Structures are given as structure tokens and as C-alpha cells.
Structure 1
């Protein structure tokens, strides 16, 4: 396409969120003038030389910094990194490359990818992007833990009974089945988004907020974790469902998905960290497509109060008496703490109340998209929210044996209706570890 066609395409979705008194149109016009389209093959050295010439011309002798964003199929990463590094690197400034997930399909392919990229780039030039690490609540996780005395002493096996990482989407693959079928929900969501969030949640206090210090602590957590066993995992796949005259397609009804596919669209897993802080605490994850609602959240369920004076008020269900801290990542970002409270009146009746920080009520400013934060960090050379190669080396061994076993034994996923809460097996898995999923209460929505 021409430069003009590219600019027209961008302008259809380009927005400007700045002070209303500013002249937004002028800024947008200025930005669009700096957008150019250049056609070429991913693995063609000559095409990258032409790109280099075009960039030099547009840079007009100014300091040149170049950031290549590889939002392309993973099998092309190395070709582009090679050509960009050898033929289109900046001569006067920095050159960096953003790599979109998936970072391999297993430990072997991940290591192969890292080794190949490092033939042409140094580790500090590679920015492995996981947009979940740019989410406002995930960013706030470190602040919540390390700057609030009320939480930091509680953040251990002594007070926390279990931690849940929940991700659900209320839509299916919808035409993206070809891509999804090659990876499945465990690789697509659990091994990166949820595991990265878990590492931030469970890490020890870093020496500083420097990127390397934070990533060092994350690696320690991942290396302390036990590889997943088949008995601690449930997999599911959504099937077609009809309601009120409307029919929802099942996963294998998608024309881009093989009819006999056993790729999971849902998974629940129990993970454990073998260190002094978290010994014996179940970290439960569940992620799924075509469920009853869209949500992503971390739920911290605390232990029961010893010798609870008010147990009569809660009957035999002591779970109703426990505190729970919920960090809702999406939608409607919020942090709330469930506490026990006396209902006003002459009698002694207790209920559970929420101490609630709802972001849209407290902060009127629009929350930036996660990608905005991460792209700005990449331009600034800030690696804190990007994944280091040794993190991948520590993360993949947790899932690779399980993934191979699922595929080699062709384990059939449990079917669940489109728009439901997911397979029943997920509840049995939680019960096995004496846990109840916290998102079952519709009042939390």
C-alpha cells in the first residue's frame, strides 16, 4: 500500500487522549506524517538494505534510534532479527527488537529461539512482550505488597490458605482457531500471562526496583516450583449450545479447527512453590474461552481465624468467615478486601462486606492500554516488565512434560457448554486441595 493508504488506515482507529484544551487534530496530523509504508520480504537482505536507506533519508541526520516490533508468526522471528540487525541497525543510536509471544511451544523450541536470536542481538536488545505485565493492577501488585505494612507480613503460608489466578473470556476462537489449535489454552494463557503474574505475586522483596533485581526474584520463584503433574490438571473444550433461539458454535464447529481436535480451550491447574514462604500453599490457575463472563483476577484466600468466636454466626461453612483479597485485572479494575462485619441492629448478625477500591470511581483519568505502557518502556530501554531468557528457561520445564503427556496420550478434554462456568472437573480439582473457586459468587461481578 502507499503511505497515504497506510495513514488512512491508521486514522480510522487513532485516538488522542490529552488535555481537551490542546489542539488534538494538529498533533494527529503531525503523527500521521511520520508514518510510512515499506514493502519487502522478511528474509530478504536487499529489502532490509532498502529499508535502511529509507530510514536514513527520513531521519535527516538526527540521532537514529530504531525499534523493530515483530508482531509476526514465530517462525519468522529469527529471519527478521538477522536482517534487521545486520542490515538495518542504527549507526548512531540504539537498535531494539520487540518479540510477541508465543516464545516457543516447549522448553526445547524456546531455547532454540533464544539461542538463534542471540546470534544477532544481545539480551538487552531483546524485549519479549507479555501485555499482561503492563496491566494497571499487575503493575500495582508490587506497590500493594511492598509499600503497605498491612499486607507484607501476611504474604506467606502462615496467613494465606490459597491463591487463585482466574482468566475467562465470554467468546470462543471465532475464526482464529487455526492459530489457537496449534497452541491451546495452556500455552496461550497459563504458561505466560498467569505464570508471570504468579511470579510477581510470590517473589521475595527485590534489592531495588531495577529491572534486573526484579527479574532475578521472579526467576527464583519459577525455579522453586514443582513441574505440573497430570493429576493436578483438568482440561476442557467448549461445545455448541443453543439458548433462546440462538445457537453458539462449538470449538470443533469452527471451520479453521480440525473436527477431531482435542486441543484444550479450558484448563485448571494446581501449582506449588517449594520454598520457605509458600510451602504447601496451593496456587490455583484456571483459564478458558467461551465461559459465562469475561474476567481476569487474582484472589487471595486467607486462613480461618483460630478459635473463631463467631463461628455460630456462619454455621458450618467456615469459608464464609475467611477474608479474601481480590485484585480484578479486567474488566473494571478494582482491589477489594472481604471482611466480616456486624449488621447494624440490636442482634448479633454478621455478614461479609467489601472494602472496595474501584478504579473508575476513585480515578477519573482513563487507564492507559497495557501495550501503551510497554511500548513506552521499550523506547525508554526499561526492561522491568519484559521477560528475560532465563525466565523462559525456568518457566517452560513446569509445563513441557505435562504438555507432552497430554499430546502423546491424546487425553480427551472434558466438554462444557458455550457460555457455562466450564467443566465440572475444575471443581473437583479445587476440592482435592481443600479449595473453593472464589469467582463462583455472582455478587463479585
Structure 2
């Protein structure tokens, strides 16, 4: 955490001030009467330490977790004390070696909201102890005067979701007669194919109602992803252009410049399609391609996402390229004969009035030459090109999701000077330049806060999950059987050459001689 970030927060939480005094109005709008118990299941694991607890800490710092209402419980099999868990978490919450006493005091106050309970995931003893601790907290916080809220965050492998859900239902649901709620947050992967995802949904669905289940996909919490609905439906500029008459193709790209980095054994069970494309990138695809919802109510938005998923045609073999970077199998945890793709480029085609004939190129890969995620909407050529400038490139609207969040439109403009010559340039909204001093929240912060508020807009509904698996399951089964092979590519490259050929076949026109350069402060 840089010093500038802490400077912003210090205006909200001083050493003699409780976080609840910050922006009291906004907190009252997101809070209910009574206690809030947040249970992090799998509290000793990497996900909890690196993502869940830091997100909770940032919410606490900003005043969204008032200490007179909230208690955080860690639950895992590891037998450690409260202080041992707090010590393990400390380094993930504050990384500034020159942290001031005030900053350290805020961390300390947050850590003392955490209580640890040890127990197994498939027996009632541990969960009854957890329920006892939660109930004591609720009693101390005078929940008799209001509702009792219990949030269970599954920082766990999906294999234990069913047993943990059973234990929560049997031992730990909210018991307040005055209302309140019990909600569960489950992490991806939601199964490995359509059958396993439906089985998992059924097992959890028999215990909890759909409004209680929050299937988290952290990509839906990213700032630029959340901006998609505003961009598309609040700007007259895009309304008449966002269709097959004007758009030639759309790319949604995710690149990483590193390999599996010690996660080879885990990754090999899933591959790049299950790990990135079927969930993260498909969620982005929905927001790009969906129709305008009736309102901003979560169910109306999710209804439109399901409709566009159900409109996707079966994937054709000649519109898929799979790759595996050279050296992937050198990992001792990866089988020598592994066919698991670390790269995939897939063309999705939407069979509806808006998008008929427009290819959506969904591409993701590891060990590539750059690290980025973006959406690239390429428009068709200008008819009757009097400037003879089509070879320079087409208009493109690019949304850079990460890193260096930005939106820019590639345009053809006159080259400054005496000659009437054209050049490619851009209209650029780069967040680092336009929104100086504004800290963009982490995706997990936003989504956990949405869960507390009961807003399911940015979470995956069961029928949406089913529709997404229906698209990819046939292809995944063929890969698993070895019927669809991954071609090798060199680490640090663009990926397989066949992927660039597929891109050209889909009608994408490469821009030559132009590179977008992110601005610097």
C-alpha cells in the first residue's frame, strides 16, 4: 500500500475516531439494524489470506464494516489460535514498511475483530462451536433489537461445498425471530462441465434459496466491467452503432506473461477454458452483447445475460485454436502426456437480430508476451473511402480492463502539416490521468459489499451458469478425450500462429504503424 492511498484513508479514520464516523449517510444506507457476522471458511488458505481478508480490511477502513456491529470469524481445519491467524494475516493487510503508528493501529483494530474456530468441514462439532461463537457475538451486540445477519464466504475447493452447505444449514443459519438473513458466497469453479455444475447447483439449491446464494466471479467487480452498462445504455453515441450494421468483430482478450507458477497440478485439472473463458470472459461477453434491460434491477439485468447466452450457436471446430506453451509439462505435477490447453482462441456467434454474422473472438492464454485484459470492438470500413486510408486500420473502441484501466477510440485523423495525409490516433480516457487521487476499489471489496447489501446484480444466477456450461461442455469433453489437440507455442510469444490466422479469417484487420501508449503522470 502506497503512502498516497493511506493519505486518502487517514482523512476518514483518525487514530481517535471509529471507522463508523466516516461518511455516516452512505453507511446507514447500506446497513441494517443488528449484528453482522462474516464467516470466512478456509481461513488459513491462500485465497482467504490474499483476497478475502484484505478486501474485508479495506471495507473496514472505509467505514463499511462498523466495529460495533461486525465480527469476522475464520474457520478451517488448521489448529491455530486467534493470535496466530492474526499474525499470518498482518503482512497481507499492510505492506508499507514505513507504516505510521496510526496505520498500524487501524490494522490492529481490524485484526481484533477476527475470531478463529477450528473444525472439520463434514462434521457438526466444529460448526456447532462456530454457531455458539456467532450467537455470543449477536447477544453482545443486542441483536434482539434488530435483525441478525450471517454471511458465509466459501474460500474453499468446490469438492467440499455440499458438505459445508449441509453443516451450515444444520447448525449455523440465522435464528433471529425479527428477520435478518443467512447468505453464502461460493467461489468458482462451479463444476467442470454442465453435469457437474448442475449437480453442485442442485445440492446447494436443496439447502438454500437462490436469493441466498452468491456465485462470485471477481471479474464482474472490476471497475471497467461495471462501466459497460453505463457506456452502452447511457450514451446516445453508442446506441445506433452497437450492431451488425456497423461492427465487424469483437475481441475479448486475457493475456498473462507468466505460466502456471507452481499451480501446474491444479491448473491441469481445468485448463484455460474452464479457468478463464467459461466464467470471466463469458461474463464480459454478456455485458457487451446483451440487450438493454427493463431496469437496473438485478433480475432484469441477469435475464438479459441469460438470453444472449442462450442465443450462442454451437462452437465450430474450425473456429477454435488450442495451445500449450513449451515447458508446461516440465512441471513435475503435470502429466507428461497432458493435452490441457494453456491458450485458447474461440469464436462465438450470436444468433439474433443485433449480432447475426458478427464474430466474437474470445481469447485467453498464459506465458504470453504481455499481461493485459481488454475488449476490442472493431468497426467496419468507411464506405467510399475518399482518403484511401483503409490500409492504415479501422476505427476501434478499446476498453482496457487491466492493467492501467482506460477507454480509447482509435480514429483516423489528418497528419499535422502541409500535406493532406492521414494517420491513426485516439480519443483517450485513461483513468490514471483523468481520475488522479481516486483509488479504484478491488473487485472483491465491491462484491462482498454487494453481498452484504443483498444486491445480486454482479453475481451469477443458476440458469446463467447452466447456459454458460451448455456452450463449452461439448468442446471440453472432446479436449478431455484427446480428440482436440493443443498446438505448442513459445513462452513470451503471441501464442500459436494458428490463432492469428483464425483472427484474420474472422475478419479482424490489424492496425499497422500505430501503438496505443498509456499516459504517465
User: What is the TM-score when the length of structure 1 is the normalising length?
Assistant: 0.93
Whole-angstrom CA distance in 1 between matches of 2:116 and 2:258: 33
Match of 2:329 in 1: 252
1:83 to 2:167 alignment = yes
- Residues 289, 95 of structure 1: alpha-carbon distance in 2 compared, 3 angstrom cutoff: same
The number of equivalent residue pairs is 428
The residue that corresponds to 1:358 in the other structure is 430
Write out per-residue CA displacement over residues 285-340 of structure 1, whole angstroms, 9 at most, x where no aligned residue: 110000001000000000111111111xx3xxx25342100000000000000011
Q: Name which of structure 1's ranges 177-186 and 29-38 shifts more when overlaid on structure 2.
A: 29-38
Match of 1:385 in 2: 458
Q: Is residue 2:207 matched to residue 1:128? A: no
Q: Is the 8 A contact 2:243 2:355 kept in 1?
A: yes
In structure 2, distance between residues paired with 1:53 and 1:158:
62
Matched, 1:106 2:177: no
- Quick check: 2:301–2:457 contact (8 Å CA) kept in 1? yes
Q: Secondary structure at the match of 2:355?
A: coil
**Equivalence for 2:130:** 51
Q: Deviations over 1:80-107 (max 9, x none)?
A: 1111122111112211111100011111
In the alignment, the residues of structure 2 paired with residue 214 and residue 411 of structure 1 have an alpha-carbon distance, to the nearest angstrom, of: 35
Q: Partners of 1:438 and 1:214 in 2: how far apart?
A: 35
Report Cα offsets for 1:231-279 as digits up to 9, x if no partner: 210000001xxxxxxxxxx110111111111100000011100000000
2:42 is aligned to none
Corresponding residue SS for 1:356 = strand
Distance, in Å, in 1 between the alignment partners of 2:350 and 2:94 is 43
Q: Is the 8 A contact 2:424 2:514 kept in 1?
A: no
**Is it true that 1:42 corresponds to 2:126 in the alignment?**
no
1:325 aligns with 2:397: yes
Structure 2 counterparts to residues 242-321 of structure 1, below 5 A: 250-311=327-388, 314=389, 318=390, 320-321=392-393
Contact kept in structure 2, 1:262 and 1:410, CA below 8 Å: no
Which residue of structure 1 lines up, in the alignment, with residue 41 of structure 2? none
Match of residue 476 from structure 2: 403
1:185 corresponds, among 241, 266, 272, to 272
Name the CA shift for 1:12/1:159 in 2 (closer, same or farther; >3 Å). Answer: same
Is contact 2:392–2:511 with CA below 8 Å preserved after alignment? no
Q: Report the equivalent of 2:406.
A: 334
Q: Distance in 1 between matches of 2:319 and 2:392?
A: 25
What is the alpha-carbon distance in structure 1 between the residues aligned to residue 236 and residue 287 of structure 2? Answer: 18
Higher relative contact order (CA 8 A, sep 6+): 1
Provide structure 1 residue ranges, at least 5 long, that are not aligned to the other structure: 240-249
- CA distance in structure 2 between the aligned counterparts of 1:97 and 1:440, rounded to whole angstroms: 50
| Cα distance in 2 for residues equivalent to 1:279 and 1:388 | 26
Give the equivalent residue in structure 2 for 1:72. 156
CA distance in 2, matches of 1:21, 1:361: 28
Q: TM-score, normalised by structure 2?
A: 0.79
RMSD: 2.0
After superposition, the Cα gap between the structure-2 partners of 1:219 and 1:228, relative to the gap in structure 1 and judged at 3 Å, is same
Residues 392/70 of structure 1: CA separation in 2 closer, same or farther (3 Å cut): same
Rounded to whole Å, the distance in 1 between the matches of 2:352 and 2:517 is: 32
Structure 1 residues 115 and 69, CA gap change in structure 2 (3 angstroms) = same
| Correspondent of 1:158 among 245, 264, 268 | 245
